[in-house]
C-alpha cells in the first residue's frame, strides 16, 4: 500500500465532490495510476491487452498470471461453470423490447441470482463470469430480433463461444473475436473507486449475494458519465457528421459551450491518455484502418484534446476507454450502439466479482470488510420539536 495517501484529511471543500480522491478501501486486483493508467496486479494493461481473457480472469481472482497447466485447468473449470439455467434464458426472451439492453442485463443478473446462486462469494463469482457470455448473447439476439438464443459451446473459449452464440448477421466472426478478446481484457477492472465497482462492493458489504450486487453495479455502469459513455460516444461521433478536422473542432467547441459532455474524454483519476484507449486506437489501425468512423475518432483524439486543454476547469482533456471502442465494435459488425455498455458490463462483472471475493473473504484476515456506512454532515436541520397546532 502506498503510504503517501495516508493520513487523509477530509476538509469542507472535499465534501460533495463525489468523494473525489478519498481512499476508501484497499484493493488487490488493480490500480489506476493518474499518469500511467491501469495495472492489473502490478502489470501495465498495455502489456496484458493481448493475453487470453481466461488468463486475465485468473490473474484478478488468484493474483498471478497462470502457467500453461494452470490456465488449461482454469479453462476447464470455467467450462464446467458455464451452464446457465434454461429458465434464465427463457425469462430473458420475455423482456420488453422498450427496455435498454442494460436494463435487460440487470434483469438477467437478477434472474440468474434467483435460479443459479449458491450464496458462496467465490463460487458465485466464478460461476457468474462463466455464465455471462450466454446471458449477454441471449439479450443481444432476442432484443435485436436476430432469432432464438444459440446453444453454448464453452469448450471454444470464453470470447470465442460468446461470438459463436451471438451469431451476428453479416459479421466477420474472426475479426469480431479478435476485437472482443482485447475488449474483454481492457474493461475488466479499474481500481476499487469507479462507480460500478464501488456500488457492487457496497451492496455486497451488507452480505447481499454476488448476483444482486452485480445487478446493482450494472445500474451504476448504465449511467452516461460512466459505462454508457461508450454508446454516447459513438452517437457523438455520428452527430459530428464530418471527418474534416476543423469542422470537428468547431463541433466540439459548440457542444462544450452548450454545456454538453465531450464523450470519450476526461477522467476522474487519470491525468494522461488512458492506455486502454491507446491499445484500441492501435487495434483499430490493424482491424479497420479505412473505416470512416474510426478515422473520425482519430481526428477527435487530436481536436478534442486541443479544445478541452484550453478549458482549465477540465482536469483531464485526454481520451478515456470509451473514446474509440464503439467505432471498433461497429466496424467489426456490431452496428447498434445501444448494446455497447452491455459488452462493457460483460467484462467488468469479472473484476467486480473478484473484488467482492477479496472484500468478503480475504480482507481483515478473512473476516471481510464490515457493512459500508460512511457518515454525512447535516445541513439546515436545526434540532427542534414538533408541536401540535390548534
User: Of the listed 124, 190, 226, 358, which one is catalytic?
Assistant: 226
Q: How far is the CB of 185 from ligand MLT (least distance, A)?
A: 13
What nine digits make up the cell of 141? 439476439
What would the x/- binding string for ligand NMX be over residues 302 to 331, using CB under 6 A?
-----------xxxx---xxx---------
Assess 191 for contact with ligand NMX (CB under 6 A).
no
> Is 267 part of the annotated catalytic residue set?
yes
225 binds ligand NMX per the rule CB under 6 A: yes
**Closest-approach residue to ligand NMX (CB):** 266
- Residue that has been written with the C-alpha cell 480522491 in this structure: 21
Answer yes or no whether residue 192 interacts with ligand NMX by CB under 6 A: no
272 in contact with ligand NMX (CB under 6 A): no
**320 lines the binding site for ligand MLT (CB under 6 A):** yes
Which entry of 124, 209, 274, 322 is annotated as an active-site residue?
A: 322
- Which of 95, 132, 268, 356 touches ligand MLT (CB under 6 A)? 268
CA angle 47, 48, 52 (to 5 degrees): 145
What distance in Å separates the CA atoms of residue 320 and residue 314, rounded to the nearest whole number? 14
Q: Is 351 left (phi over 0), alpha (psi -120 to 50) or beta?
A: alpha
Q: Is residue 383 annotated as part of the catalytic site, yes or no?
A: no
Task: Indicate which residue of 209, 267, 274, 358 is catalytic.
Answer: 267
Relative to beta strand 37-40, strand 30-33 is antiparallel
Rounded Cα distance, 110 and 117, in Å: 10
Residue 183 binds ligand NMX, judged by CB under 6 A: no
Q: Which residue stretch of 36-44, 62-70, 224-232, 237-245 sits at the interface with ligand NMX (rule: CB under 6 A)?
A: 224-232
Check binding of 199 to ligand NMX (CB under 6 A): no
For the record, the C-alpha cell of 270 comes out as 487519470
What does DSSP assign to residue 31?
A: E
Q: How far is the CB of 262 from ligand NMX (least distance, A)?
A: 4
Q: Measured between alpha carbons, how far is 151 from 354 in angstroms, rounded to an integer?
A: 27
Given strand 37-40, what is the order of strands in its sheet? 30-33, 37-40, 43-44
Among 27, 49, 218, 321, binds ligand MLT (CB under 6 A): 321
Interaction mask 31-70, ligand MLT, x per CB under 6 A:
-x--------------------------------------
- Which of ligand NMX, ligand MLT, none interacts with 266 (beta carbon under 5 to 8 A by kind)? ligand NMX
Site for ligand MLT contains 332 (CB under 6 A) = no
- Please tell me the distance from the alpha carbon of residue 368 to that of residue 228, in angstroms, as a whole number: 31
C-alpha to C-alpha distance for 287 and 175, rounded to whole angstroms: 7
- Binding residue for ligand NMX, selected from 116, 128, 262, 324, defined by CB under 6 A: 262
DSSP result, 62-126 = HSS---HHHHHHHHHHHHHHT---HHHHHHHHTS-TTS-HHHHHHHHHHHHHHHH--S-HHHHHH
Q: Residue 327 and residue 116: Cα distance in Å, rounded?
A: 35
Contact between 267 and ligand NMX per CB under 6 A:
yes
Cβ neighbours of 116 (radius 10 Å): 18
The reply on whether position 249 binds ligand NMX by CB under 6 A is no
The Cα 377–Cα 265 span in angstroms is 33
Choices 169-177, 197-205, 223-231, 354-362; region in contact with ligand NMX by CB under 6 A: 223-231
What single-letter DSSP state applies at residue 37? E
Residue position matching grid coordinates 460500478: 196
Given CA atoms 354, 357, 360, 364 in this order, what sign does their dihedral have? negative
Residue 264: contacted member of ligand MLT, ligand NMX, none (CB under 5 to 8 Å, by partner type): ligand NMX
Residue 355's binding partner out of ligand NMX, ligand MLT, none, with CB under 5 to 8 Å set by partner kind: none
Residues in contact with ligand MLT by CB under 6 A are 32, 190, 194, 267-269, 320-321
Residues in contact with ligand NMX by CB under 6 A are 225-227, 229, 256, 261-268, 313-316, 320-322
Residues with catalytic annotation?
226, 267, 322
Amino acid at each position: 500500500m502506498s503510504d503517501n495517501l495516508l493520513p487523509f484529511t477530509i476538509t469542507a471543500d472535499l465534501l460533495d465532490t463525489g468523494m473525489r480522491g478519498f481512499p476508501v478501501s484497499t484493493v488487490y486486483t488493480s490500480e489506476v495510476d493518474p499518469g500511467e493508467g491501469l495495472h492489473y496486479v502490478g502489470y501495465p494493461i498495455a502489456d496484458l491487452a493481448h493475453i487470453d481473457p481466461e488468463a486475465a480472469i485468473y490473474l484478478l481472482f488468484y493474483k498471478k498470471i497462470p502457467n500453461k497447466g494452470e490456465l488449461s485447468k482454469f479453462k476447464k473449470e470455467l467450462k464446467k461453470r458455464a451452464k446457465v439455467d434454461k429458465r434464465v434464458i427463457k425469462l430473458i426472451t420475455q423482456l420488453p423490447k422498450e427496455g435498454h439492453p442494460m436494463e435487460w442485463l440487470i434483469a438477467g443478473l437478477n434472474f440468474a441470482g434467483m435460479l443459479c446462486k449458491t450464496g458462496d462469494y467465490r463460487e458465485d463469482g466464478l460461476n457468474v463470469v462463466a455464465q455471462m457470455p450466454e446471458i449477454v448473447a441471449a439479450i443481444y439476439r432476442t432484443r435485436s430480433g436476430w432469432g432464438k438464443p444459440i446453444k453454448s459451446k464453452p469448450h471454444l473459449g470464453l470470447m470465442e463461444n460468446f461470438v459463436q452464440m451471438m451469431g451476428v448477421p453479416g459479421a466477420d466472426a474472426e475479426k469480431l473475436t479478435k476485437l472482443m478478446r482485447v475488449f474483454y481484457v481492457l474493461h475488466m477492472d479499474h481500481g476499487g473507486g469507479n462507480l460500478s465497482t464501488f456500488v457492487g462492493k457496497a451492496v455486497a458489504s451488507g452480505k447481499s449475494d454476488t448476483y444482486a450486487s452485480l445487478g446493482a453495479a450494472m445500474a451504476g455502469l448504465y449511467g452516461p458519465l460512466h459505462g454508457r459513455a461508450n454508446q454516447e460516444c459513438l452517437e457523438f461521433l455520428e452527430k459530428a457528421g464530418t471527418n474534416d478536422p476543423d469542422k470537428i473542432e468547431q463541433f466540439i467547441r459548440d457542444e462544450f459551450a452548450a454545456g454538453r459532455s465531450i464523450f470519450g474524454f476526461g477522467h476522474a483519476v487519470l491525468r494522461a491518455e488512458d492506455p486502454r484507449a491507446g491499445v484500441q486506437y492501435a487495434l483499430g489501425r490493424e482491424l479497420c484502418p479505412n473505416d470512416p468512423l474510426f478515422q473520425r475518432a482519430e481526428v477527435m483524439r487530436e481536436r478534442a484534446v486541443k479544445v478541452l486543454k484550453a478549458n482549465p476547469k477540465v482536469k483531464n482533456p485526454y481520451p478515456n476507454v470509451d473514446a474509440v471502442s464503439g467505432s471498433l465494435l461497429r466496424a467489426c459488425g456490431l452496428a447498434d450502439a445501444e448494446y455497447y455498455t452491455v459488452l462493457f458490463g460483460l467484462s467488468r462483472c469479472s473484476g467486480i466479482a473478484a473484488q467482492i471475493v477479496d472484500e468478503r473473504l480475504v480482507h481483515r484476515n478473512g473476516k471481510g470488510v464490515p457493512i459500508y456506512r460512511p457518515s454525512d454532515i447535516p445541513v439546515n436541520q436545526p434540532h427542534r420539536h414538533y408541536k401540535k397546532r390548534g
